[in-house]
Structure 1
Amino acid sequence: MTHQYLRPKRRFGQHFLEDTWVRKVVASIAPKATDHIVEIGPGRGALTFPLAAQAHKLLAIEIDRTLANGLNKIKNGTIDTIQADFLELDLVAIAKEIYTGHGSIRVVGNLPYNISAPIVLRLLRHAHSNGISDATIMLQREVGERVIALPGSKNYGPLAVMASLHSVAKRLLDLPPGAFRPRPKVHSTLIHLQFHQPELIPSSFEQFESFTRQLFTQRRKQISNALSSAAFGRSFDPRDCCSRANLDPSRRPAELKLAELIDLYEVVAFS
């Protein structure tokens, strides 16, 4: 099932999952016969083959040419492999390539730690609009905690805000370094993202994300001071904005829920 035909490459941040943990991860993903699975970073196929055995179709996207060629050599009518960087692929084209008109498009992946946050953000921004129902992804534990963090917690920041805007995020499994070869120096977490159309819609998704990033650079300051310090490119009265957004100006950005952040953004954007 797992094909040990080459060593991991450090430049791609590769860590391959041990068989015992493969079974646990596959059980957590719970693939169905109608699923169309997009796997990011299949590596040597540890997850690829057991997932493909239960799914309708699997598209493996692998940046490492040698690994992609190795997967292509294995004849399997359910699996197609693309040698490419997921961050540079057209999600519309991916959805069209894999979808057959029934079932769900799902994303899975043991993501390279060095680019996991950009991949998560790309999925959050574009998955639902391209017909992708959910993602089950392996992340460095610290990154995973930033995705599922709640307002007021130490890990709450822009990544958690974007996750709450576009999905319901939850932790499925925690994995020790020994679950991989070679052993990483960090623990890992399996996260599930159920994508949905945002219930609260800012006037500009792109500008709201930028506003949130700017605001959280001053996460421990009072909101009024954080607004004064952040570079929003316009003049406004921070206390007046807080009042119009029904926010106590002495609160901290890291305490604000999604709805409060959107309300504050709209007030600032149109001041």
Structure 2
Amino acid sequence: MKDSRASNYRFKHNTDIGQNFLVNQGIVENIVKAAEILDGEVVLEVGPGKGILSRQILKWPCSRLISIEVDHRLSQFLDPLTQEDDRVTIIWEDALRMNFLKDLPCPPSLVIANLPYHITTPIVWKFLEELAPQGLTRMVLMVQREAAVRMIQQEGSKDRCPLGITLEAMGMVRKVLNVPPGAFRPIPKVQSSVIRIDITANRQLPRDPNWRRMLKISFAQRRKTLINNWGIAGIHRDEGLRRLISVGLRETTRAEEVPLNTWLKLSSSFQWSE
């Protein structure tokens, strides 16, 4: 195995693209253990960095590890992985710009990633839109703690959000562990959490423009009621009241107060798309 201590010393982290690399081996082991990698699974990793998670994943019986990395300077750490283990494929690309359906050699059933925090919401939506219909069953993700809270919250919480509601409709999200800033280099200014997302239902939902539009306009201004947000989006007040009454909601209801089953009824019963 290549000794990269000198390279580690010379490497200059680019924090503009979220390069806070995990260095705590115990946390790495807990992340991969939480993923429960099955024999023969295809695993997708986004942002492998210097490969600490990659090497731990390869201790499990996956059939293939596909790692997507945008920074070619990290080839000195990642290229040796492809030489040591023929299960590894490195794709040098920006994951947000990829078409996973076309650009991945095969569809993964599992995603494990230490995500750059500034892309958390768009990349999770992308996983759901492009990979869930192809058989993605679960994700184990390192995210900023505030993002983890938003994805886990149930109705009634001010932290509730469209992504969290969609995840609830598709399965289950749970926190695996909290991770202190000292587990990274360079040390970030934010707290982190590892979450596990299990996908068991409604795999096509993230692709539904009616669902996405409904949530977008409903959460457009959090302090406003649903009927006021809908009015801003062009839905006449009388029509808004009719929709509220049909699913048993009050005129004063705000988006964060609506339970999942009611969102599903609103989506299936009415047209929201532009």
Q: Please report the TM-score for the alignment, with normalisation by the length of structure 2.
A: 0.86
Aligned-residue offset at 1:264 = 2.7
Cα offsets for 1:106-161 (capped at 9, x unmatched): 11100001111111111122322122221111100111111111111121011211
* 1:209 aligned onto 2:212: yes
Mapped to 2, the partners of 1:23 and 1:81 lie a distance apart of 21
Aligned-residue offset at 1:226 = 3.3
Aligned length in residues: 264
Q: Could you tell me which residue of structure 2 aligns to residue 113 of structure 1?
A: 117
Maintained 8 Å contact 1:58/1:79: yes
Maintained 8 Å contact 1:44/1:67: yes
Read off the aligned partner of 2:228 and give its amino acid letter. Answer: N
Mapped to 1, the partners of 2:44 and 2:76 lie a distance apart of 17
Maintained 8 Å contact 2:51/2:77: no
Aligned-residue offset at 1:40 = 0.4
Which of 42, 46, 52 is the matching residue for 2:48? 42
Q: Could you tell me which residue of structure 2 aligns to residue 259 of structure 1?
A: 261
Read off the aligned partner of 1:59 and give its amino acid letter. Answer: I
* 1:14 aligned onto 2:23: no
* 1:91 aligned onto 2:100: yes
Question: What are the residue-to-residue correspondences of 1:23-172 with 2, within 5 Å?
Answer: 23-54=29-60, 55-68=62-75, 70-74=77-81, 75=83, 76-93=85-102, 97-98=105-106, 105-172=109-176
Maintained 8 Å contact 1:125/1:166: no
SS in structure 2 of the partner of residue 47 of structure 1: helix
SS in structure 1 of the partner of residue 159 of structure 2: coil
Mapped to 1, the partners of 2:129 and 2:165 lie a distance apart of 12
Q: Could you tell me which residue of structure 1 aligns to residue 228 of structure 2?
A: 225
Read off the aligned partner of 1:61 and give its amino acid letter. Answer: I
Read off the aligned partner of 1:260 and give its amino acid letter. Answer: T
Cα offsets for 1:135-188 (capped at 9, x unmatched): 111100111111111111121011211212333211111111111111101111
CA 1:233–1:224: 2 relative to 1, 3 Å: closer
Aligned-residue offset at 1:227 = 2.6
Mapped to 1, the partners of 2:19 and 2:237 lie a distance apart of 47
Mapped to 1, the partners of 2:109 and 2:76 lie a distance apart of 24
Aligned-residue offset at 1:233 = 6.3
Mapped to 1, the partners of 2:14 and 2:134 lie a distance apart of 31
CA 1:27–1:239: 2 relative to 1, 3 Å: same
> Please, which runs of 5 or more residues in structure 1 have no aligned partner?
none
CA 1:212–1:232: 2 relative to 1, 3 Å: farther
* 1:239 aligned onto 2:248: no
Moved more, 237-246 or 110-119: 237-246
Maintained 8 Å contact 1:62/1:68: no
Q: Percent identity at matched positions?
A: 27
Mapped to 1, the partners of 2:252 and 2:30 lie a distance apart of 46
Read off the aligned partner of 1:217 and give its amino acid letter. Answer: A
Mapped to 2, the partners of 1:234 and 1:196 lie a distance apart of 36
Aligned-residue offset at 1:42 = 0.3
Aligned-residue offset at 1:35 = 1.9
Q: Please report the TM-score for the alignment, with normalisation by the length of structure 1.
A: 0.87
CA 1:212–1:3: 2 relative to 1, 3 Å: farther
Read off the aligned partner of 1:208 and give its amino acid letter. Answer: W
